[in-house]
Amino acid sequence: MGMMTKTKIVDWLSESTKLLAEISELASLETRVILCHVLDKPREWLVLHPDFELEQRQLDLLNLMITRLQTGEPLPYLVGKQAFFGLEFKVTPDVLIPRPETELLIEECISWLEEHPAKRKLADIGTGSGAIAITLADRFEDLDVTAIDISAKALDIAIQNADLLNVAHQIKFTQNDLLENIVDRYDVIAANLPYIPTQKLNTLTVARYEPVLALDGGQDGLGIINRLLQQSREHLKPGGMIILEIEEGQFESAPILADTLLPGMKKSIINDLANHPRILKIMV
């Protein structure tokens, strides 16, 4: 029986990056993230130990993860976490992976909250991993947050994240269908709701792995947003703001819907870094 060949970190990285480069622009970064995860080492350690020899069980696990990435499985589900606005969130397939686009919504909320220091009651509707609720609670110690989700499994992850990031005392987690039967009123109603039209969903890779409940916005993608806007009339405090993430194809239909349901309020659309319409902001 021949000797087993040992694989060095530097060689595994080079081979795996080549494999992944066919499907990912971030192949080099992704292979390093996986390696750090399996070896439980920081990235600096990899740089300092390029000749470290991987054990067979480590190799097996690493190669399995590369295969799963090649089939389209999202990296954050493989490693169980995702960075968002400088914080690290635990994620599982029960929650949508926090996206860079949503950081734009956070930035808008931060500006607004800084300009309105007396307005400190916020609801995050469809909280998922808790990304919006937790990031804003972390930024404003006096913010009183209600985080709502229809999915008990998603809320469980959000609660764990709030504990891990030390903001659980500021957030009330509620399993609920949007604002149905809720009596409270809020200064800010923020939401990253399912907004993808059902037909379009079937063509997207994201729907193969991420929760359909968090993506499917009905026939025109605005079904759930429509319901929340109707409910918001009763739940927004005077001088408050509603801020929603939308799909780029809704840059005309979403404000028209808002005009119909919330006449007399100011509406604006904010584009993301790629210049796609991404945020609908509604203010009294």
The answer to whether residues 27 and 120 belong to one domain is: no
pLDDT at residue number 4: 55
> 114 and 63, same structural domain?
no
Beta strands of 92-235 (E only): which ranges?
121-125, 144-149, 171-175, 186-191
> Which pLDDT score, from 0 to 100, does residue 82 have?
96
The predicted pLDDT at position 38 comes to 96
96 and 63 within one domain: no
The answer to whether residue 82 sits within a structural domain is no
Going from the C-alpha of 73 to that of each of 48, 116, 233, 237, 255, the distances in angstroms are 30, 41, 40, 42, 34
Domain membership flag for residue 79: no
pLDDT of residue 2: 42
pLDDT recorded at residue 6: 82
- Specify the residue for token string 């100011």: 266
pLDDT at 212: 86
Q: Where are the beta strands (DSSP E) in 85-161?
A: 87-90, 121-125, 144-149
Question: Does residue 116 share a domain with residue 62?
Answer: no
The answer to whether 148 and 174 have CB atoms below 8 angstroms apart is yes
* Model confidence, pTM: 0.91
Q: What SS3 state is found at 3? A: coil
Q: What is the CATH number of the domain that holds 190?
A: 3.40.50.150
211 and 100 belong to one structural domain: yes
CB atoms within 10 A of CB 259: 13
Cα→Cα distances 218→109, 117, 194, Å: 27, 37, 8
pLDDT given at position 146: 98
Structural domain span for residue 258: 92-283
The confidence score (pLDDT) of residue 264 equals 93
φ, ψ (nearest 5 deg) of residue 232: -65, -25
User: How much is the pLDDT for 164?
Assistant: 98
Task: Look at residue 275 and tell me if it is in a domain.
Answer: yes
Per the structure, the count of domains in the chain is: 2
Asked if residue 34 and residue 118 are part of one domain, the reply reads no
**DSSP-derived secondary structure letter, 216:** B
Q: Is residue 161 part of a domain?
A: yes
Would you state the pLDDT for residue 5?
67
- Same domain? For 168 and 263 the reply is yes
Question: Is the residue at 24 inside a domain?
Answer: yes
- Could you report the average pLDDT of every consecutive run of 10 residues in the chain (284 residues)? 71 95 92 96 94 95 95 94 96 95 96 98 98 98 98 98 98 97 97 90 84 88 95 96 95 95 95 93 92
Same domain, 55 and 102: no
